[in-house]
Structure 1
Amino acid sequence: MKLEVLEKDCYYHIYNRGINGINIFESDDNKIYFLKQITKYLSDKISVFAYCLMNNHFHLVIRLNYEEKEVTQAFSNLFNSYAKAFNKQTNRTGSLFEKHFKRIKLNDENYLRHLIIYVHLNPKHHFDLDFKDFRFSSYRAFLSDKETKIEREEVLNLFSDIENFIFCHNQKNDFLNETYTFE
């Protein structure tokens, strides 16, 4: 599979999972450390529009602020740093992530809005958890007044306002909850 070339000022869905589907996060501390490593290696190179960290995979919705080479190297540093720490903590060796992180270029705002919702609803998709209370997703950062690295204002403008942001998430969530019966 040919990897999408990353371009400055473009939006991407970045995701990856553990090699052979293994967990890449075994504790909340692992997830907190991963988020800190994102800040350490990527904070000036990308803008984050949404994220979700599940046990065996993660999703990021980003915009590149730098050229591909710098961003790709920063991601490599992030993944290597995290894998080394995780392997040391769990007494394992070898690769932690699948070979290359996946990336899909987003070509329009409608796709961007749908992807942000999809990423936030991931706990519902995989574990039937309430996405509103899931700690390792960016959803709650949009409802808060606390300082955040997330592009809160820009995302809320994509949805027109906070009320519509919440409404759109609930509409998709309600769709997932519906059951269909055939008569």
Structure 2
Amino acid sequence: MAIRPYRKNCSDPTFKASGRIAMRLYIIIFLPKLQKIFPNLVNFFHFMRCIYKSSINKIYNIWRNSMARKLRVQLPELTYHITSRCIEWRGMLQEDYVKAVFVEILRKAKEKYHFKLIGYCIMDNHIHLVIHTVEDGAPISRIVQYIKARFAEMYNKITGRTGPFWNERYKDSIVQFARNGFHYLLWLLWYLAYNPVRKRMCGSPLQHRYSSIVAYLEEDADVGVPIDHHEYFIKLGKTFAERAKKFMQYEEAYRKRYSLVVEWV
């Protein structure tokens, strides 16, 4: 895309037409006369004009590439909701053994980088992670980079394929930056839990094996990787039973909001 800064209103059709006419008059009438009188000057003018346009285009491309990616906020003691999709939205995570490999990578990443895993949900074509970074731990970008790169390497090795696995950079939102982070986090956990229900993968959040919602309803639940209860969940009550009971109220509000009918099994 070429930038022409000498055009002040490029969207005006009249201005575009007058610009074309002026350029044609310049090429047909004035350029031959200038070449006869000042041949070297005209050649120098065209040379400088080409350099100018090329430099403007390069500067614009650098600016566009830098502005296309938003800056990451990477600070300790923040809770991130991470989402990342498979290449071309393919269902490359559909098989159970593939989801199990991802859970294992997630467990190894937790041991390696010492972050708090608040929740997760593995879908057929994308993933959801809720990660809380700690003071002496790694930044969120390094954590997610390790998880995605390691899993893509393992998946290609198991399936014998080549090429990228993930579609794009991961997307993130920070719980503490929400209008009401306390309610947003508890709502977010139910959003992850109901994702398979909305996609008709199961009839109930508890039926989806590769989700962490059970860890918030059963105290000794095993969801494949240790789950760290967020401080907002802990504030719901003094005992786990009291917290789980109040946490279920957010599930009821979530179902009413989205008019979901589910079967609890």
- Matched pairs, number: 179
Q: How does 1:77-116 map to 2 (within 5 A)?
A: 77-107=146-176, 108-116=181-189
Report which of the two structures shows the higher radius of gyration computed on alpha carbons.
2
Q: 1:135 to 1:69 in 2, by over 3 A?
A: closer
Extract unaligned runs of 5+ from structure 1.
none
Higher mean C-alpha displacement, 10-19 vs 110-119: 110-119
Q: How does 1:1-183 map to 2 (within 5 A)?
A: 1-43=69-111, 44-66=113-135, 70-107=139-176, 108-127=181-200, 129=202, 130-146=204-220, 149-152=226-229, 154=231, 156-160=233-237, 161-177=243-259
Extract unaligned runs of 5+ from structure 2.
1-68, 238-242
TM-score scaled to structure 2, two decimals?
A: 0.60
Q: Is the 1:3–1:103 Cα contact (8 Å) retained in structure 2?
A: no
Higher mean C-alpha displacement, 11-20 vs 153-162: 153-162
Q: Is the 1:7–1:64 Cα contact (8 Å) retained in structure 2?
A: yes
- AA matched with 1:140: V
Q: Is the 2:74–2:139 Cα contact (8 Å) retained in structure 1?
A: no
Q: Is the 1:16–1:57 Cα contact (8 Å) retained in structure 2?
A: yes
Q: 1:170 to 1:102 in 2, by over 3 A?
A: same
Q: Is the 1:8–1:64 Cα contact (8 Å) retained in structure 2?
A: yes
Root-mean-square deviation (CA, aligned residues, Å) is 2.5
Higher strand share: 1
Q: 1:93 to 1:116 in 2, by over 3 A?
A: same
User: In structure 2, what is the Cα distance between the partners aligned to 1:121 and 1:3?
Assistant: 30
Q: 1:104 to 1:67 in 2, by over 3 A?
A: farther
What is the SS of the residue equivalent to 2:199?
Answer: helix
Q: 1:13 to 1:142 in 2, by over 3 A?
A: same
What is the SS of the residue equivalent to 1:84?
Answer: helix
Cα deviation digits, residues 145-177 of structure 1 (max 9, x gap): 326511237454254411111232133124433
Higher helix share: 2
User: In structure 2, what is the Cα distance between the partners aligned to 1:166 and 1:42?
Assistant: 27
User: In structure 1, what is the Cα distance between the partners aligned to 2:185 and 2:143?
Assistant: 23
